């Protein structure tokens, strides 16, 4: 199992901090929600965990997984929906970390792709161009790509945003499956009910740590109010 340790971590852009002095552990084999006001640094922290931005100070330390093997699903996938590839091709991108650019997809990998596509309810649509997928189908395909990657550490940035109820329910079941497999999950979430339903632990963030621990004790009206106050204060000072 994988864990991530934050040690006096400060992050930002152009030398200007967005989050600062973070200490804590994303526990191995558990799902942790990151919640907080807009501009609290949630996505910035997830990018740092994925190795996409470097700390201003402090560090993140990985245990049980290498940086290249982390599965990361950003809010914006960066994939041009007009690009002429099929759903199957999109999901197969999740195999690149294991296969590299030039090794072909063998029977074992083909079975893994079929399993991932079926698990998100898209069986039979493998040959459909991604341009022909609905928004919900495309998000499911992105989840299947993460599943194909088969990582011990999965980072999801607002994975349920702008999805219909049916799609959210289906993708939430995929997250529960990953939790049952004892993968380490870190999810930036806006929906607090989903945070409570899916995540054993929660980090309430407002530039700094407001609360971090079991969801029942960390995610409370008091901690959320404090996060709002800190975010408002930071905005005024900026």
pLDDT along the chain (238 residues), means of 10: 94 90 96 95 96 95 91 90 91 77 69 92 95 94 94 96 91 96 97 97 97 97 94 62
Residues 203, 209 contacting (CB under 8 angstroms) = yes
Q: Determine how many CB atoms are found less than 10 A away from the CB of residue 209.
A: 19
Q: Would you call 191 helix, strand, or coil by DSSP?
A: coil
Alpha carbon 161 to its chain centroid, in Å, reads 12
pLDDT at 21: 95
* Domains detected in the chain: 1-70+152-238 (3.40.50.300), 79-150 (no CATH)
Q: Which pairs count as long-range contacts for 194-197, CB under 8 Å and 24+ apart, including other chains?
A: 194/33, 194/160, 194/168, 195/33, 195/35, 195/219, 197/172
Q: What strands, in cross-sheet order, belong to the sheet with 16-26?
A: 16-26, 3-13, 57-63
pLDDT of residue 101: 52
Please classify residue 225 by burial: count the beta carbons closer than 10 Å to its beta carbon, then call 0-12 exposed, 13-18 middle and 19+ buried: exposed
| DSSP β-bridge partners for residue 6 | 24, 60
What pLDDT score was predicted for residue 81? 86
Residue 224's φ and ψ, nearest 5 degrees, are -65, -40
Backbone dihedral angles phi then psi of residue 33, each to the nearest 5 degrees:
-90, 140
């Amino acid at each position: 199992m994988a864990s991530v340790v934050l040690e006096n971590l400060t992050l930002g852009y152009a030398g200007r901090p967005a989050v600062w002095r973070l200490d804590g552990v994303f526990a191995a084999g558990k799902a942790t929600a990151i919640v907080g006001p807009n501009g609290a640094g949630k996505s910035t922290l997830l990018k740092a965990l994925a190795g996409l931005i470097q700390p201003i100070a402090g560090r993140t330390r990985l245990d049980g997984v290498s940086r290249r093997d982390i599965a990361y699903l950003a809010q914006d996938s960066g994939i041009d929906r007009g690009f002429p590839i099929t759903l199957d091709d999109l999901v197969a991108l999740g195999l690149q970390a294991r296969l590299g650019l030039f090794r072909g997809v063998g029977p074992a990998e083909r079975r893994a792709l079929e399993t991932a596509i079926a698990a998100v309810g898209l069986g039979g649509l493998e040959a459909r161009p991604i341009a022909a997928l609905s928004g919900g189908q495309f998000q499911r395909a992105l989840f299947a790509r993460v599943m194909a990657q088969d990582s011990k550490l999965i980072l999801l940035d607002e994975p349920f945003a702008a999805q219909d109820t049916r799609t959210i329910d289906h993708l939430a079941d995929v997250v529960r499956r990953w939790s049952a497999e004892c993968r380490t999950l870190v999810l930036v979430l806006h929906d607090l009910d989903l945070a409570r339903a899916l995540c054993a632990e929660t980090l309430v963030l407002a530039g700094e740590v407001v609360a971090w621990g079991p969801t029942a004790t960390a995610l409370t009206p008091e901690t959320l109010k404090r996060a709002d106050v800190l975010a408002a204060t930071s905005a005024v000072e900026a």
